[in-house]
Amino acid sequence: MSHLDYKLLIFDWDGTLCNSIGRIVESMHAASTRAGYALCDDLAVKGIIGLGLPEAIRTLYPEIGDDELIAFRQHYADHYMALDAQPSPLFEGVAQTLEAFRADGYHLAVATGKARRGLDRVLKAHGWENYFDATRAADETASKPHPLMLEQILAQCGVSPRQALMVGDASFDLMMARNAGMDSVAVSYGAQSAEALQAYEPRLTIDRFSELQAWLSRAH
C-alpha cells in the first residue's frame, strides 16, 4: 500500500506524543508503596504502559482484590496529579509535525490508556481541546490491545482500517492495530525498545517523531 493511501493518523499519548513515562513509573511505585505491595522494577512497569489503569495494576499485581484495586488506583491518581501540576512536555517535534499533518489534510486522532478525565486535562493544558478529529480513552471503551477504540475512531472519521495508521511506543498499541486490521508505526523513544516492538511487525520504526512526516511524504 502506498503511503498516500493513509487518511487517518492515530496516536498513542504517553510515550508517543508526550514525555510522561518517568512520571507513570514513579506514580506506580508510589502507589505500590502506599498500598503495601512490593515494588516492581521499572522495566515491568514500562511493560504495562498503554493498558487502562485497572488492567495495568492487575497485570503487575494479579492477587489484588477489588477493594484494594480501588484504593491503589486512587493512590496512583493522587501522585500522578501532583506531578502533573506542571504538564509533561511533548516530545521534540511533535507540535510542528502534527501541524504539518493537518496542513496535508490528514485526520488526526488519539487512542490512549489514559482515563477520559486525564486525557481531557492534558489536552487542555496543551491548548488542544478541539485539536483532534477523534479521541478515545481507556475508561470509555475496551482497553488495549482490544481493537474497539480504534474501530470507534474509524467509524467516527468514516475511514477504513486500510486507510489508517496507528503510531505507538508499546506492544499493546501495535497489537491493537493488528487486531483492527490496521498498519502501525513503532516509536523507539517511549516505554519499550525498538527491538521488543519488532515482533509486532510495524511498517516503520522511528527514533524521532518528525521522521514519520518524512516517511509519509516520501511518495509525494
Active-site annotation, residues: 12, 14
State the DSSP H helix or E strand holding residue 30, giving kind and residue range, or none if neither.
helix 21-35
Adjacent-strand bridge partners of 137: 112
Amino acid at 129: E
Residue bearing cell 514519520: 212
Rounded-to-integer distance, Cα 39 and Cα 14, Å: 21
Task: Identify which of 27, 176, 49, 52 has the alpha carbon closest to the alpha carbon of residue 113.
Answer: 52
Rounded-to-integer distance, Cα 21 and Cα 187, Å: 13
Residue bearing cell 516503520: 204
Question: Residue 66, Cα to own-chain centre: how many angstroms?
Answer: 25
DSSP conformational letter for 125: H
Contact 157/167 with Cβ under 8 angstroms? no
Task: Identify which of 190, 183, 182, 191 has the alpha carbon closest to the alpha carbon of residue 208.
Answer: 190
Residue bearing cell 515482533: 199
Amino acid at 41: D
